[in-house]
Amino acid sequence: MRCDACDAEAVVDQPYRRGHLCGPHLLDSVRERVRRELHRQVPGFRGGTIAVALSGGKDSAVALALTRAYFGRRPNVRLVALTVDEGIAGYRPATIERAAELCRSLGVEHRIVRFSERLGTTTDATAERLPRAIPCAYCGVWRRQLLNRGARELGADLLVLGFNLDDLAQTVLMNLARGEVDRLARMAPHRFRQPGLVPRVAPLAPIPEREVFLYARLAGLPFDHGECPHAGRAARNVYREVVWQLEEAVPGTRQALLRTQERLAPLLTGPTPPEAPGRCQACSEPAAGPLCRACEFLAAARNPIIVGPASAPP
Ligand code: SF4
Ligand SMILES: [Zn+2]
Ligand SMILES: [Zn+2]
């Protein structure tokens, strides 16, 4: 396989565009696609604070490095990396070390928000208390809330997430398959600013997971390769497999799923901002009902007998 741009040996094939690229041209191509995506999702950003969710894995490492490349050097932009420590032994400590190493090498301010301090529990402890619940269900809800709270406390104007093309295509399919059209409409990037919610952007949206991995490796970014010990039970796994099979059979399916979401979202929300969310009675965070989902899960974790794990939200 030869690179389309220079005839050197290719490191990646891109069946969705019938192309091949060598290492240096893949780096250029990822940088350019992310640059265009950032400007598409954040048109005319005039300065302010940008929080970047940094897990210590490859995706968020690339998102931070490229956000810094485009926005971080502007004198009117403050860039802060935000890491959530869910309390997962044998996994999270190493990723936090990589995240800190990356921030040091890029000269980016780094904040860590811990479940144990903010929620009074951890994912490991909850997995023990609620053995029948799927850990990613509450862990993901809690992490999203703490990322939003952490970004808001920093006064952030944007929260950058490291979702790649595969992640987003899986989420679109999952939301469609479950009939959760409201979630489809709420996926990043956000068209409207909602009170209490920092708008999320996903600049790696056009980049397949494999290319993000190669970018991180070729650019020499420190990242952790470990996998969360609870990941095997994630509902997402089946969608990962289905999207992979669809992409093998019909290259370009992932991009098509994303286009579907982009075309549906404005039809679902309409031209005006949706009604502002209410406030959770327990923690005052934005909520659709009396309690936010994070507090519903906390109640289940604290009292698995009254609010049993089988009745915990999926
Ligand atoms: S894989 Fe699941 S349990 Fe593990 S960190 Fe991610 S959301 Fe949490
Ligand atoms: Zn080349
Ligand atoms: Zn709450």
Segment 261-306, tens digit of pLDDT: 999 988 887 766 667 788 999 999 999 899 999 999 999 888 765 4
**Which residue has the CA at smallest separation from atom 2 of ligand 1?**
136
Query: What is the pLDDT, as a whole number, of residue 309?
Result: 39
* Domain boundaries of the chain, sorted by first residue: 48-273
Closest to 70 (Cα-Cα) out of 111, 30, 105 = 30
Mean pLDDT of 234-242: 92
Q: Exposure of 150 by Cβ count < 10 A (0-12 exposed, 13-18 middle, 19+ buried)?
A: buried
308 pLDDT higher than 50 = no
Q: Which helix (H) or strand (E) holds 49?
A: strand 48-53
- Tokens (6 digits) for 80: 């802060």
Query: What is the pLDDT, as a whole number, of residue 313?
Result: 36
Mean pLDDT of 209-228: 97
**Which residue has the CA at smallest separation from atom 1 of ligand 1?**
231
Atom number, ligand 1, closest to the C-alpha of residue 227: 1
Distance 61 CA to ligand 3 centre (A): 30
Long-range contacts of the stretch 256-261 (C-beta < 8 A, 24+): 257/168, 257/169, 257/172, 257/173, 258/165, 258/168, 258/169, 258/172, 258/205, 260/172, 260/176, 261/168, 261/172, 261/184, 261/187
Pair 95, 226: CB distance under 8 Å: yes
Atom number, ligand 1, closest to the C-alpha of residue 228: 4
Q: What is the pLDDT of residues 123-141, one digit of tens each?
A: 999 999 999 899 999 999 9
Q: Name the residue of 55, 59, 88, 126 whose CB sits within 8 Å of the most ligand 1 atoms, as the mutation to test its pocket.
A: 88
Least confident among 17-21, 128-132, 170-174, 252-256: 128-132
- The fold for domain 48-273 equals Rossmann fold (3.40.50)
Q: Which residues, judged by CB distance below 6 Å to any ligand atom, belong to the binding site of ligand 1?
A: 86, 88, 123, 135-136, 139-140, 228, 230-231, 234
Query: How many CB atoms are located within 10 Å of the residue 69 CB?
Result: 14
Cα–Cα distance measured from residue 19 to residue 154, given in angstroms and rounded to the nearest whole number: 42
